[in-house]
Amino acid sequence: MHKVYHRIEQIAGNVIVVTAENVVYGELAQVTSDMGTSLAQVIRLEANRVSLQVFAGGRGIATDSKVRFLGNTMQIPFSENLLGRVFTGSGVPRDKGPEITENKIPIGGPSVNPAKRIIPRNMVRTGIPMIDVFNTLVESQKLPIFSVAGEPYNELLARIALQAEVDVIILGGMGLKHDDYLYFRDTLEENGALSRSVLYVHTAADPTVECMLVPDIALATAEKFALQDKRVLVLLTDMTNFADSMKEVAITMEQIPSNRGYPGDLYSQLAARYEKAVDFEGSGSITILAVTTMPGDDVTHPVPDNTGYITEGQFYLKNGRIEPFGSLSRLKQQVNSRTRDDHRTIMDTMIQLYASYKETLEKQSMGFRMSGWDQKLLKYGERFENEMMALSVNIPLEEALDRGWEILADCFEPQETGISSKLVDEFWKK
Would you tell me which residues interact with other proteins (CB under 8 A)?
A: 21-26, 44-48, 73, 109-120, 227, 255-259, 263-265, 267-268, 271-272, 274-276, 280, 299-302, 305-306, 308-310, 312-313, 325, 328, 331, 366, 368
> Shortest Cβ distance from residue 254 to other proteins (Å)?
9
> Shortest Cβ distance from residue 261 to other proteins (Å)?
10
Nearer to other proteins (CB atom), residue 101 or residue 113: 113
> Shortest Cβ distance from residue 302 to other proteins (Å)?
7
Buried b (16+ CB within 10 A) or exposed e, 377-412: bbebbebbeebbbbbebebebeebbbbbbebbbebb
Nearer to other proteins (CB atom), residue 93 or residue 264: 264
> Shortest Cβ distance from residue 187 to other proteins (Å)?
31
d(CA 255, CA 19): 21
93 three-state secondary structure: strand
> Shortest Cβ distance from residue 135 to other proteins (Å)?
12
d(CA 311, CA 143): 6
Nearer to other proteins (CB atom), residue 23 or residue 31: 23
Nearer to other proteins (CB atom), residue 89 or residue 284: 284
Q: Read off the amino acid at residue 269.
A: Q
Nearer to other proteins (CB atom), residue 13 or residue 152: 13
Nearer to other proteins (CB atom), residue 127 or residue 313: 313
Q: Is the dihedral of CA 334, 336, 339, 344 positive or negative?
A: negative
Contacts 24+ apart (CB under 8 A), 263-267: 266/302, 266/303, 266/306, 267/306, 267/309, 267/310
Nearer to other proteins (CB atom), residue 362 or residue 398: 362
> Shortest Cβ distance from residue 104 to other proteins (Å)?
15
Q: Read off the amino acid at residue 223.
A: E
> Contact, 142 vs 312, CB < 8 A?
yes
d(CA 127, CA 133): 9
Which H or E run contains 269? helix 266-274
Nearer to other proteins (CB atom), residue 21 or residue 341: 21
> Shortest Cβ distance from residue 179 to other proteins (Å)?
33
> Shortest Cβ distance from residue 92 to other proteins (Å)?
22
d(CA 74, CA 107): 6
Whole-Å CA distances, 149 to 175, 207, 297: 13, 22, 9
Buried b (16+ CB within 10 A) or exposed e, 352-375: ebbebbeebeeeeeeeeeeeeebe
